[in-house]
Amino acid sequence: MAPYTHRGVHGRTVETLARRVLGGQIPEGATLDLGALRRELDVSLTVLRESLKVLAAKGMVDARQKRGTFVRPRSDWNLLDADVLRWQFADGPGTPAGPALLRDLDEVRAVVGPAAARLAAERRTDADLTALETALRVLAESADSPTRAAEAGLAFHRGLLAATGNELLARMEMVVGPGPAHHGSPRPADPVPGHRAVLDAVRARDRDAAERAMRALLGVRDLGGVRDQSGPRQDPNEGP
């Protein structure tokens, strides 16, 4: 699904509701009082309902006769949706879900990134190489612009996913897309050499070297090396 870009009162309403649900102010299973929300947010019922449709499309809310509109269980939410990821970091990575989400994203990258680099080395086309070279060049020219450097880095990783020739892997770009996902992760002073090592291996069609270079770029040797920002997970069947 394309990122939500609606502006104005409708966009503000969507974001306000999304952040309340994601932050737990409106808990799972809660039935929404549309009249109270309409008055509090000072919006029309039409705007409120259209905003809730956006959240419904992302699996966050639903509506049933006799029950009304309610928040669905978190297990139903589309957590890989670019907007859902972005909304969770609207107040910064220090939000309640932030550390755990950062850990989860790092683990997903540790799984997807090296495998994608390996496939890209096997399947890349000349056009893929051109896209990767362009992203690397922009990255090298963006030392004084963190925002431009971040965009170039994301373009590189998206290009690498596209180079796998796997349409489903290419859709994983939402995992590397949202900028807040990178907060708190250590980054080298100069990111160019690490990216260049990946590109050189992909260009040479050296699958093993591409996988090793991506692991080095991500700063992990295995899942045990992923930077854990929230501590061990609690077994729900265990006590505190």
Q: Would you say residue 237 has pLDDT above 60?
A: no
Residue 239 region, left (φ>0) first, then alpha (ψ -120 to 50), else beta? beta
Q: What SS3 class is residue 70? A: strand
98, pLDDT greater than 80: no
**Do 136 and 154 meet the contact criterion of CB atoms below 8 Å apart?**
no
User: What is the helix (H) or strand (E) element at residue 14, kind and residue range?
Assistant: helix 8-23
Alpha carbon distance 131, 85 (integer Å): 26
195 or 103, which is more confident? 195
Q: Is 59 left (phi over 0), alpha (psi -120 to 50) or beta?
A: left
Per the confidence metrics, is the pTM higher than 0.75? no
The pLDDT of residue 155: 94
- pLDDT score, position 195: 96
State how far the Cα of 171 lies from the Cα of 174, in Å rounded to an integer.
7
* Residue 69 φ/ψ, nearest 5 degrees: -90, 130
**CATH 1.10.10.10 correct for 8-88:** yes
The answer, yes or no, to whether residue 220 has pLDDT greater than 80, is no
pLDDT of residue 3: 54
* Phi-psi category of residue 68: left, alpha or beta, with phi > 0 → left and psi -120 to 50 → alpha: left
Q: What is the H or E stretch that residue 61 is in?
A: strand 61-64
At 83, which helix (H) or strand (E)?
helix 82-88
Q: Which of 215, 208, 204, 212 is nearest to 132 (CA)?
A: 204
* pLDDT confidence tier of residue 105, bands split at 50, 70 and 90: confident
Please tell me which of 20-24, 30-34, 141-145, 215-219 the model is most confident about, judged by mean pLDDT.
30-34
**Domain spanning 98-225: which CATH class is it, in words?**
mainly alpha
Per-residue confidence (pLDDT) for residue 240, from 0 to 100: 45
Q: What's the chain's average pLDDT?
A: 85
The pLDDT of residue 176 is 72
SS3 label, residue 239: coil
Over residues 19-58, the pLDDT tens digits come to 999 989 999 999 999 999 999 999 999 999 999 999 999 9
Q: Are 122 and 207 in contact (CB under 8 A)?
A: yes
Is residue 117 over pLDDT 50?
Answer: yes
Q: Enumerate the β-bridge partners of residue 71.
A: 61
Is 60 exceeded by the pLDDT of residue 233? Answer: no
Instruction: Inform me whether the pLDDT recorded for 77 exceeds 70.
Output: yes
- Residue % of the chain over a pLDDT of 70: 80
Spans of all domains in the chain: 8-88, 98-225
* Residues near 53 by beta carbon (within 8 Å), at least 6 away in sequence: none
The DSSP 8-state label assigned to residue 192 in this structure reads H
Q: Is the pLDDT of residue 184 over 50?
A: no
